[in-house]
């Protein structure tokens, strides 16, 4: 059974390597990426994956081989050496260089995604208030808050919009509406506990902190529209490609059920059409309930 | 160095209580930590089994278990209960199992024996450090039975979900059970409590905080003792660079504990004050809203907790692995019958991991709302920790290269540590990379990584250490065949449990979710989740083999003799079990601990002490 132990280790290592190799084919892999910076972050993931796979196979391979070759025999004596400085130097410097290389490839992507001053000028803004246990989204309907030019021109109005709700805002729960190619700027807030705004298909995640408004940006690539107006139901269809919004920070018993959906319209016009219809529906319900209608 | 202050001839003959219960003997204290740690291992494991039952079969009615759940829950698990399960699983495993076993049990047992001392520098403080755990045990166990159940805000207990006390409905005060509440019928209370949008973390959370304060004090006492003993009480000839790696690891770990724990203890007190005296350390200036209830205004910052908590909890993960690394070095050298490769680099890498460990806490907070510009600095420091870790792995490979390997149970567990730590360490690189972390933070990829370093590494290290030092503790051998069965099954089932978590993590399945099956991006991961759960249940059952082996061997195990493994360090020259006072004469150390296969002697091992032969037998009280 002595050499058998090295085979035992080898089989288990091979098994987990095999599982990793087949997983993409089984559909157990990264969700579909629809975001303009998603490819960059996915590429960084793959860079690390290949480097890590190489060192994994190398070290486990050497281990399994050594366990086989040097399985003990009575009467035999091990080699008597305490170390080798040259080896120590090599296996310190080479990993150090590789690790620093990995670190430095990551810096630009991180800054471009997360640092507020590096975010691209937005085409649309929305406020997302993460709550127990739903996403309350506030969309401006005033045209001065829509489109890159208008938003740039009215920068200080945007600031006050961010701080205080306007009477003509649209409020929707658990739905994020954007259009293909639009650079979205979310003002992320919460009023109760820490939540986390997570769009897997946009490769974006940001914790919401009580007491802070945190800017988040993402943009859907062209060709990723997942909703269109349905003339029969006179509504927009449910997204064809599931684009979930999930909470990614434990926020209480309902943490698992904060499911939102991301609707990607095909263009700005379609988005504005939705915005108008949703606003009318919101206003109509208000009127109906005031009149005592259900 | 002197072997410690001379003490009066042992005229005291402690009764049963003084010998086995309130003992100041480091070996007894170490064994006490071992027993309590193993009991909590089973409690923490049982909690994990319940977690996996829910995740493997979400919302199902489980046979037998369903009869234990209330009818009002539909005889199923409840989401708030589920949150408590994983929160307490982690809390128990970290604070009541891994740290007490590594630092409390083996630190205590091994340090004086391996350095040639009679006992610790402060034996009474040592006894105190164990008994301080008992209030912690009682408080944490009672937290399961209070109103609202045990802490359910994660082992991380982030404000404000953990720290708020205000009631969700007027007139109902869950923290103190106000008068107006008492007149309501039980059913109404239960219904209101359950349906409230914000179940405030109540009594269970308060008890969690108190319990961990006791654990922290216990550990701080222990670390003071370990540092002092290692510096001051080494036998003549036992220079620092002749100490076994186990001792270097315990030494560096004790420094980590001494420096990091005070910060956690302070944080725990601050949250306790927020919950009981309505202070506002973690309450933001504008206050909070729950439903239509509003808290008082604050003046604090939820993020402050995270900084304080992770400033301790990141070094804590090194506290939970460094000792195991030390044990693995000693076990691998012993059963390779070959010197440890790269003694000094191994010491420096322990120090490097510990030192870097203090400046990386922000990597738990990349997505937290902390200024993202801090992310880059934390990322670079974090990625660099892979370097000393890699150096250690290469040196272990160098140790088995050219060896004459004996596949004993301790050796198999130590080899498992090495091969599994490679995976745990490499997976850490993904989350250290800030852009990649955006996607994988708070997913199962993190859960996979942490279980590979804590279960697949630390726990295999602990199993190896138990099988290895059991003869020295109890004078008996554990069964080798059953040890191997336990090892093989544990290795297979644990890989089947934790490896697929990397895959569902790449699928971005979030952690801490009661039910993943409703979301579009995780719905299809069912087969893997079920496979993990089945493997976990089999893994749990396998541990019964270990319990049986451990307990039966205490009574029926083969007598071990002094040095069944032919190992070099000083403890193997003492009797098995070692007597009070450890050594009848002061050991004189001539060499390092890894002189195996030396051409100078016929045997393939060479004990460290010149007077090794005189170190066992009945102790004679000697003035020295």
Q: Is the pLDDT of residue B195 over 50?
A: no
Question: Average pLDDT for residues B155-175, to the nearest whole number?
Answer: 67
pLDDT the model gives residue B620: 45
CA angle A201, A207, A212 (to 5 degrees): 135
Interface test with B, best of A64, A71, A80, A195 (most B CBs within 10 A): A80
HEC letters along chain A = CHHHHHHHHHHHHHHHHHHHHHHHHHCCCCCCCCECCHHHHHHHHHHHHHHHHHHHHHHHHHHHHHHHHCECCCCCCCCCCCCCHHHHHHHHHHHHHHHHHHHHHHHHHHHHHHCHHHCCCCCEEEEEEEECCEEEEEECCCHHHECHHHHHHCHHHHHHHHHCCCCCCEEEECEEEEECCCEEEEEEEECCCCEEEEEHHHCEEEEECCCCCEEEEEEECCCCCCCCEECCCCEECCCCCCCEEEECCCCCCCHHHCCEEEEEECCHHHHHHHHHHHHHHHHHHHHHHHCCCC
Residue B304 belongs to what domain range?
29-62+77-172+198-320
Per CATH, domain A120-290 is 1.20.1070.10: no
Task: Classify residue B13: in a domain, yes or no.
Answer: no
Nearest-by-Cβ selection for B398 from A87, A95, A211: A87
| Of A236-240, B184-188, B410-414, minimum mean pLDDT range | B184-188
Q: Is the pLDDT of residue B172 over 50?
A: no
Nearest-by-Cβ selection for B394 from A91, A102, A212: A91
Do the beta carbons of residue B526 and residue B532 sit within 8 Å? no
Query: Does the beta carbon of B380 lie under 8 angstroms from any beta carbon of chain A?
Result: yes
Judge if B91 and B52 occupy the same domain.
Answer: yes
Q: Is A137 exposed, middle or buried (0-12, 13-18, 19+ CB in 10 A)?
A: buried
User: Which two structure tokens, joined as six digits, stand for B28?
Assistant: 């007894």
Q: Is the pLDDT of residue B278 over 90?
A: no
Do the beta carbons of residue A204 and residue A198 sit within 8 Å? yes
Residues in chain B, total:
624
Phi, psi of B134 (to 5 degrees): -65, -45
Judge if B546 and B574 occupy the same domain.
Answer: no
Does B343 sit within 8 Å of A205, measured CB to CB? no
| Of B64-68, B399-403, B542-546, minimum mean pLDDT range | B64-68
| Residue indicated by tokens 């940006």 | A217
pLDDT band, very low/low/confident/very high, at B4 (cuts 50, 70, 90): very low
Judge if B205 and B98 occupy the same domain.
Answer: yes
How far are the Cα atoms of A212, B241, B336, B338, B418 from residue B594, in angstroms, in the given order? 57, 11, 10, 7, 19
Domains held by chain B: number: 3
Residue after which a domain boundary falls, among B560, B591, B615:
B560
Judge if B260 and B145 occupy the same domain.
Answer: yes
Chain A contacts of B78, Cβ < 8 Å? Answer: 253
Interface test with B, best of A13, A67, A210, A247 (most B CBs within 10 A): A210
Judge if B403 and B493 occupy the same domain.
Answer: yes
Residues in chain A, total:
294
User: Which two structure tokens, joined as six digits, stand for A187?
Assistant: 């003002």
Task: Classify residue B486: in a domain, yes or no.
Answer: yes
Task: Classify residue B580: in a domain, yes or no.
Answer: yes
Judge if B129 and B144 occupy the same domain.
Answer: yes
CA angle A118, A123, A127 (to 5 degrees): 85
pLDDT the model gives residue B200: 57
Judge if B556 and B584 occupy the same domain.
Answer: no
Question: Average pLDDT for residues B205-210, to the nearest whole number?
Answer: 95
Judge if B392 and B451 occupy the same domain.
Answer: yes
Does B340 sit within 8 Å of A52, measured CB to CB? no
Judge if B418 and B535 occupy the same domain.
Answer: yes
Does B503 sit within 8 Å of A71, measured CB to CB? no
Question: Average pLDDT for residues B185-213, to the nearest whole number?
Answer: 68
Does A30 sit within 8 Å of B439, measured CB to CB? yes
User: Which two structure tokens, joined as six digits, stand for B475?
Assistant: 């004078």
Task: Classify residue B167: in a domain, yes or no.
Answer: yes
pLDDT band, very low/low/confident/very high, at B13 (cuts 50, 70, 90): confident
* Domain ranges, ordered by start, for chain A: 2-70+86-114, 120-290
The strand pair at B289-290 and B293-294 is best described as antiparallel
Q: Is the pLDDT of residue B72 over 90?
A: no
Task: Classify residue B457: in a domain, yes or no.
Answer: yes
| Of A200-214, B15-29, B52-66, B608-622, minimum mean pLDDT range | B608-622
Q: How far is A143 from chain B (nearest CA, A)?
A: 30
Neighbours of B547 (CB within 10 A): 13
- pLDDT tens digits, chain A, 294 residues: what are they? 578 999 999 999 999 999 999 999 999 999 999 999 999 999 999 999 999 999 999 999 999 999 999 999 988 999 999 999 999 999 999 999 999 999 999 999 999 999 999 999 999 999 999 999 999 999 999 999 999 999 999 989 998 999 989 999 999 999 999 999 999 999 999 999 999 999 999 999 999 999 999 999 999 999 999 999 999 998 999 998 889 999 999 999 999 999 999 999 999 999 999 999 999 999 887 665 555 444
Size of the A and B interface in Cβ pairs below 8 Å? 331
Query: Does the beta carbon of B521 lie under 8 angstroms from any beta carbon of chain A?
Result: yes
Judge if B84 and B153 occupy the same domain.
Answer: yes
Give residues with Cβ within 8 angstroms of B97, minimum separation 6.
B37, B40, B41, B44
Task: Indicate which CATH number applies to the domain containing B262.
Answer: 1.20.210.10
Nearest-by-Cβ selection for B438 from A201, A204, A214: A204
- What is the rounded CA–CA span in Å between residue B101 and residue B35? 9
Region of residue B386 (phi > 0: left; psi between -120 and 50: alpha; otherwise: beta)? alpha
Give residues with Cβ within 8 angstroms of A91, minimum separation 6.
B390, B391, B394
Neighbours of A259 (CB within 10 A): 16
Per-residue pLDDT tens digits for A245-272 = 999 999 999 999 999 999 999 999 999 9
Residue after which a domain boundary falls, among B527, B543, B560:
B560
Q: Is the pLDDT of residue B134 over 80?
A: yes
Judge if B208 and B316 occupy the same domain.
Answer: yes
Task: Classify residue B3: in a domain, yes or no.
Answer: no
pTM, entire model: 0.93
Residue after which a domain boundary falls, among B296, B320, B344:
B320
Per-residue pLDDT tens digits for B485-499 = 999 999 999 999 999
Judge if B553 and B579 occupy the same domain.
Answer: no
Phi, psi of B5 (to 5 degrees): -70, 140
How far are the Cα atoms of B134, B456, B492, B539 from residue B497, in angstroms, in the given order? 32, 11, 9, 8
Per-residue pLDDT tens digits for B283-307 = 999 888 887 777 778 899 999 999 9
pLDDT the model gives residue A286: 66
Closest chain A residue to B408, measured at CA:
A2
Q: How far is A215 from chain B (nearest CA, A)?
A: 10
| 253-292 in chain B: CB under 8 A from chain A | 284-286, 288-290
Q: How far is A13 from chain B (nearest CA, A)?
A: 9
pLDDT the model gives residue A1: 57
Give residues with Cβ within 8 angstroms of A261, minimum separation 6.
A174, A175, A176, A238, A239, A242, A243, A244, A245
Does A70 sit within 8 Å of B405, measured CB to CB? yes
Question: Average pLDDT for residues B123-144, to the nearest whole number?
Answer: 96
Give residues with Cβ within 8 angstroms of B10, minimum separation 6.
B580, B581, B621
Task: Classify residue B484: in a domain, yes or no.
Answer: yes
Phi, psi of B191 (to 5 degrees): -65, -45
Neighbours of A96 (CB within 10 A): 15
Task: Give the percent of chain B with pLDDT over 70.
Answer: 91
User: Which two structure tokens, joined as six digits, stand for A236?
Assistant: 């927009």
Closest chain B residue to A16, measured at CA:
B499
């Amino acid at each position: 059974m002595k050499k058998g132990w090295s085979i035992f280790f080898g089989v288990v290592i091979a098994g987990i390597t095999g599982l990793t190799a087949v997983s993409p084919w089984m559909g157990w892999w990264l969700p579909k990426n629809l975001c303009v910076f998603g490819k960059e972050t996915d590429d960084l993931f793959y860079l690390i994956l290949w480097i890590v796979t190489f060192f994994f196979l190398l070290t486990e391979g050497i281990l399994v081989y050594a366990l086989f070759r040097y399985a003990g025999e009575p009467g035999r004596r091990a080699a008597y050496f305490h170390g080798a400085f040259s080896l120590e130097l090599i296996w310190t410097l080479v990993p150090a260089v590789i690790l620093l290389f990995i670190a430095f490839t990551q810096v630009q992507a991180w800054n471009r995604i997360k640092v507020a001053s590096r975010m691209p000028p937005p085409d649309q803004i929305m406020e997302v208030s993460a709550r127990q246990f739903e996403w309350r989204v506030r969309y401006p309907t005033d045209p001065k808050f829509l489109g890159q030019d208008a938003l740039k021109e009215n920068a200080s109005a945007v600031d006050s919009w961010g701080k205080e709700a306007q009477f003509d805002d649209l409020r929707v729960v658990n739905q994020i509406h954007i259009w293909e190619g639009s650079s979205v700027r979310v003002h992320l807030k919460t009023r109760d506990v820490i939540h986390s705004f997570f769009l897997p298909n946009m490769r974006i995640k940001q914790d919401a902190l009580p007491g802070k408004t945190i800017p988040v940006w993402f943009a859907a690539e062209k060709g990723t529209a997942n909703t269109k107006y349905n003339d029969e139901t006179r509504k927009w269809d449910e997204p064809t490609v599931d684009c979930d919004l999930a909470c990614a920070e434990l926020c209480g018993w309902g943490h698992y059920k904060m499911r939102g959906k991301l609707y990607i319209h095909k263009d700005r016009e379609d988005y504005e059409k939705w915005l108008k219809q949703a606003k009318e529906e919101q206003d109509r319900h208000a009127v109906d309930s005031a009149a005592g209608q259900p | 160095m002197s072997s410690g202050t001379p003490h009066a001839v042992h005229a005291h003959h402690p009764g049963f209580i003084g010998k086995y219960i309130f003992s100041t003997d480091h070996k007894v204290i170490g064994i006490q930590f071992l027993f309590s740690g193993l009991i909590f291992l089973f409690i923490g494991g049982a909690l994990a089994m319940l977690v996996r039952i829910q995740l493997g079969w979400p919302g199902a009615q489980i046979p037998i278990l369903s009869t234990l759940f209330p009818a009002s829950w539909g005889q199923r698990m409840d989401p708030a209960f589920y949150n408590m399960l994983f929160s307490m699983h982690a809390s128990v495993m970290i604070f009541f199992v891994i740290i007490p076993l590594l630092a409390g049990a083996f630190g205590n047992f091994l340090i004086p024996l391996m350095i040639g001392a009679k006992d610790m520098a402060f034996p009474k403080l040592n006894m105190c450090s164990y008994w301080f755990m008992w209030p912690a045990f009682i408080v944490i166990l009672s937290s399961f039975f209070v109103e609202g159940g045990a802490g359910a805000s994660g082992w991380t207990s982030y404000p404000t979900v953990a720290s708020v006390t205000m009631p969700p409905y007027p007139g109902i005060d869950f923290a103190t059970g106000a008068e107006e509440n008492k007149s309501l019928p039980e059913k109404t209370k239960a219904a209101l409590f359950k349906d409230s949008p914000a179940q405030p973390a109540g009594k269970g959370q308060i008890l969690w905080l108190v319990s961990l304060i006791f654990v922290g004090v216990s550990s701080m006492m222990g670390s003071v003792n370990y540092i002092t003993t290692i510096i001051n009480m080494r036998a003549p000839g036992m220079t620092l660079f002749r100490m076994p790696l186990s001792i270097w690891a315990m030494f560096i770990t004790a420094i980590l504990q001494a420096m990091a724990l005070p910060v956690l203890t302070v944080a725990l007190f601050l949250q306790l004050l927020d919950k009981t005296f309505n202070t506002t350390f973690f309450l933001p200036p504008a206050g909070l809203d729950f439903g239509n209830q509003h808290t008082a205004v604050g003046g604090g910052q939820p993020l402050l907790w995270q900084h304080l908590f992770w400033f301790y909890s990141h070094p804590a993960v090194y506290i939970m692995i460094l000792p195991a690394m030390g044990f693995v070095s000693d076990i691998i050298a012993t059963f390779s019958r070959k010197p440890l490769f790269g003694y000094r680099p191994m010491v420096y890498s322990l120090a490097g991991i510990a030192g870097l460990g203090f400046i990386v806490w922000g990597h738990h907070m990349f997505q937290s709302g902390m200024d993202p510009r801090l992310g880059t600095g934390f990322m670079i420091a974090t990625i660099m920790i892979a370097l000393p870790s890699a150096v250690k792995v290469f040196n272990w490979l160098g140790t088995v290269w050219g060896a004459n390997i004996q596949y004993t149970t301790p050796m198999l567990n130590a080899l498992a540590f090495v091969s599994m730590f490679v995976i745990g360490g490499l997976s850490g690189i993904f989350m250290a990379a800030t852009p990649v972390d955006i996607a994988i933070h708070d997913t199962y990829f993190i859960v996979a990584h942490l279980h590979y370093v804590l279960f697949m590494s630390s726990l295999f290290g602990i199993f190896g250490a138990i099988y290895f030092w059991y003869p020295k503790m109890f004078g008996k051998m554990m069964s080798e065949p059953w040890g191997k069965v336990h090892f093989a099954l544990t290795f297979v089932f644990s890989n089947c449990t934790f490896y697929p978590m990397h895959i569902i993590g790449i699928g971005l399945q979030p952690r801490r979710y009661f039910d993943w099956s409703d979301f579009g991006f995780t719905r299809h991961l069912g087969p893997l989740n079920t496979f993990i759960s089945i493997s976990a249940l089999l893994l749990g059952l396998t541990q019964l083999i270990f319990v049986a082996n451990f307990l039966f061997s205490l009574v029926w195990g083969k007598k071990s003799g002094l040095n069944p493994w032919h190992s070099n360090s000083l403890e193997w020259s003492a009797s098995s079990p070692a007597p009070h006072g450890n050594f009848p004469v002061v050991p004189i150390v001539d060499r390092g601990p890894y002189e195996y296969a030396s051409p100078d002697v016929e045997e393939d091992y060479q004990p460290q002490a010149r007077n090794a032969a005189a170190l066992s037998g009945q102790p004679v009280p000697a003035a020295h």
